[in-house]
Amino acid sequence: MISERDVLHIAELADIGIIREELDEFTGQFNDILDYFDILDQVEAGAGAETGLYNVFRDDEVVPSLPPDEILGNAGETEDGFFRAPRVM
């Protein structure tokens, strides 16, 4: 059973904003969904063996980097070849 406060905490952990009005709706939906997920409790932990690919490597050879206009082309804000981001402090 998770509460609205739990949902807000999850949103903080995920660094994702939620609209206040949605909080009630989300809390109800999350509880339904997480209740449904409880069926996984019946599964034995560590069951089955993983097979498949392993040791896939690439050679240490230089591949040309992208040209500057393609690197910076999609960015909203740049300065002297740097990307601009909001301040961290």
Interacting residue ranges for other proteins, rule: CB under 8 A = 7, 10-11, 13-19, 22, 26, 29-30, 32-34, 36-37, 39-50, 52-63, 65-66, 68, 70-77, 79-89
Residue 31 neighbours by CB distance under 10 Å: 15
Nearer to other proteins, 1 or 86 (CB): 86
- Pair of tokens at residue 72: 């910076």
- Nearer to other proteins by Cβ, of 1 and 87: the residue is 87
Q: 36-39: long-range contacts (C-beta < 8 A, 24 or more apart)?
A: none
Distance in Å, CB of 43 to other proteins, minimum: 5
Largest CA distance in the chain: 57
Q: Find the shortest distance in angstroms from Cβ 3 to other proteins.
A: 13
CB of 42 to other proteins, least distance (A): 7
8 A C-beta contact, residue 10 and residue 27: no
